[in-house]
Amino acid sequence: MADKVERTFIAIKPDGVQRGLMGEIIKRFEQKGFRMVAAKFLQASETLLKEHYIDLKDMPFYAGLVKYMANGPVLAMVWEGLSVVKIGRVMLGETNPVDSKPGTIRGDLCIEVGRNLIHGSDSVAAATKEIALWFKPEELVCYKSCAQPWLYE
């Protein structure tokens, strides 16, 4: 099982923090069986955010997105588990909450795309890049959960 475990980067955006949804979102990932291996509550700099969203730099909403994300605190996290990137994206729901199904974070907890609560890596490669951007290697905790045999065969 260890060779199939991957990590993903999840960030609760300023709207999620301000609305008091950090605990609810963490709870969903924990209940699914994923393991948090890093967390950082911070006011992200525009420099960090510009690098994080570099792939969107040519989009008309890029400047507004960076400004919005720098406008309040975020909770940056690294989660670990089997297929955590793919399953995490399903848990988040579609980028536009209007298209998100009930039961997803965005489907249950938000209304507009500009306030969609959460960011999640969209691939293992993106997760690796984002984790390295937000966390130093020594900030990632390696441990074996006592629940592991109850989650994995």
Catalytic residues: 119
β pairing state of 118-120 and 74-82? unpaired
Nearest to 14 by CA among 52, 66, 61: 66
**Quick check: 77 and 9 in contact, CB under 8 A?**
yes
How far is 81 from 99, CA to CA, in rounded Å?
26
